[in-house]
Amino acid sequence: MKRNLFVLFFLMLPCLTPWGNTKYAAFSPKGLKEGSPAPEISMTDPNGETISLSSYRGKIVLVDFWASWCHPCREVSDKVVALYNKYKDRKFEHGNGFEILSVSLDVNQNDWVQAIDEDKLSWKGHVCDFARWRSQAVSDYYVSFIPSGTLVDGDGKVIATNLDYRMISYYLKAMVKRRRN
C-alpha cells in the first residue's frame, strides 16, 4: 500500500506547481473573480497560427490548462471530449455554443501534438508557448495545478475558475437549463 501511494505521488508530481514557487500559490488572495474580465490569451497553435481567447467572443469558452506529460490530464481527456461534443452547439444564457481553448504547459512540440492526436482532442483551439509554469497565461489565470479549467462567458467575463471536468459539466448543464426556463 505504501509503495502504491509513493508511486502515485511521483506520477502526479509533475502536474503540481514547482515547490517553493510562491508566485503560483494555490491560496493566493489574488485571483480571477466571477464576473471579472478574463485575461487575454494569445499563443500559437501546432501550425504556428496565433489563436486568441478574444476570437471566441459570443461563445462559452473553457480555458483548459493541461500538458501531455500530466497523467491526470490525459486520464480525463475523454470526458472533456464528451463535454465538448455535448455542448458545442448548445445555446446558453450568455453565449451561443461552447468552445475549448486548450493551453498546454508542454515544452516539446512533438509530445504536445502527439497527445492531441492520441486523445482525439477535436477542437481547433490548442495553444502553447512552451514556457511550462512560466507561461504568462499560467500567471494571469493563477493556475497552481493541472488539469484546471476556467469558464468564460460570451462577453469575455469569468464564470468560474479552478474547475475539474465534473464542475465544468455542472456549470454547462446549469447554464443550458436556465436558458430553457
Domain of 89: which CATH number?
Answer: 3.40.30.10
Domain annotation covers residue 67:
yes
> How far is Cα of residue 37 from the mean position of the Cα atoms in its chain?
17
Q: State what percent of residues in the chain have pLDDT above 70.
A: 81
Residue 94, in any domain of the structure: yes
List of long-range contacts for 105-108, beta carbons under 8 Å, 24+ apart: 105/65, 105/66, 105/67, 105/70, 105/132, 105/133, 105/135, 105/138, 105/146, 106/67, 106/68, 106/69, 106/130, 106/132, 107/132, 108/68
Whether residue 2 lies inside any domain: the answer is no
Decide if 66 is inside a domain. Answer: yes
Total number of domains in the chain: 1
Domain of 153, in residue numbers: 35-180
Residues 6 or more apart in contact with residue 113 via CB below 8 angstroms:
46
User: Is 144 among the domain residues?
Assistant: yes
Q: pTM score, two decimals?
A: 0.81
Residue 4, domain member (yes or no): no
Q: What is the pLDDT of residues 101-157, one digit of tens each?
A: 999 999 999 999 999 999 999 999 999 999 999 999 999 999 999 999 999 999 999
Confidence at residue 94, expressed as pLDDT on a 0 to 100 scale: 83
Question: What is the overall mean pLDDT for the chain?
Answer: 85
Is 140 inside any structural domain? Answer: yes
In a domain, 86, yes or no: yes
pLDDT in tens, 65-91: 999 999 999 999 999 999 999 999 999
Confidence of residue 11 (pLDDT cuts 50, 70, 90): very low
178-181: list long-range contacts, CB under 8 Å, 24+ apart: 178/93, 179/91, 179/92, 179/93
34 SS3 class? coil
